[in-house]
Structure 1
């Protein structure tokens, strides 16, 4: 019998558009078309600076507008004890190889399922790690693995694993899985 997938809250269509860089592509087209008239009226360097600053401001605005949707999705996942993370087995042959996915914290066990790509859905089998114990507290995660995150090391029935996630997600993990709440 197939193990059921972890079921994170789905990304909305607006988030999916941002994941596909649609706002960035549209912005590039708009800014490139505005560059020539600006160059004729104010000159090359001022036009270039204006287009660059307008593009930067527009991208930040898109991020700010999407932030509430992302927070809502993350909060829905947290209610289930589920969060995004990077995972690897400590001391594995592929020391630099982290797998992106979701972890579900349950009393006395940690469930992990990989996802496809950076923003894809969950795929593959659910790995179950029983009897988790904290071996090493959070240290700053490498930016390439989990930006602004921390890494903890857990000892489990299958050996040591490392999890990189946000500080609030790791707190959720320690409350639910390690303390048995």
Structure 2
């Protein structure tokens, strides 16, 4: 099994098979526009700009499951991402990424690479970890589900899940892993 067996609704409402990403190194991210990690949109865009001509693509999936941090309509999300962060990488319509009703892609991704903890030294972790412990301890009950917005999955050019990065991993910190996957494609 690989990500190519899944599809999702693009922002224009058209069903898009992830098989269209075959041969590319992909970063799949669940996003939100009103989150302490929303600044990561800018860094994600920088990564996309730097590597898109080398076979790299980012697929953003807005999600409103975590403290109502993406309440906007799909149209408004797309506009905000473009105007506020210059996002030009592909965005899909809002999905659920955990629990009942989760998009099958995210169920698959989270089962492929387990949760290994947050970077406790990340500045936003000082707010996130106590919030999860107080308001959402159920999110931490297993070792696989997505715990918060901006969980990122790096996918090889053959559609396999290579690595999982939590929200406390900034996009720039993933650069070496992205380069390694791109180098594997070009060898």
Q: Normalized against structure 2, the TM-score is what? A: 0.26
Higher relative contact order (CA 8 A, sep 6+): 2
Q: Which has the larger strand fraction? A: 1
Q: Normalized against structure 1, the TM-score is what? A: 0.26
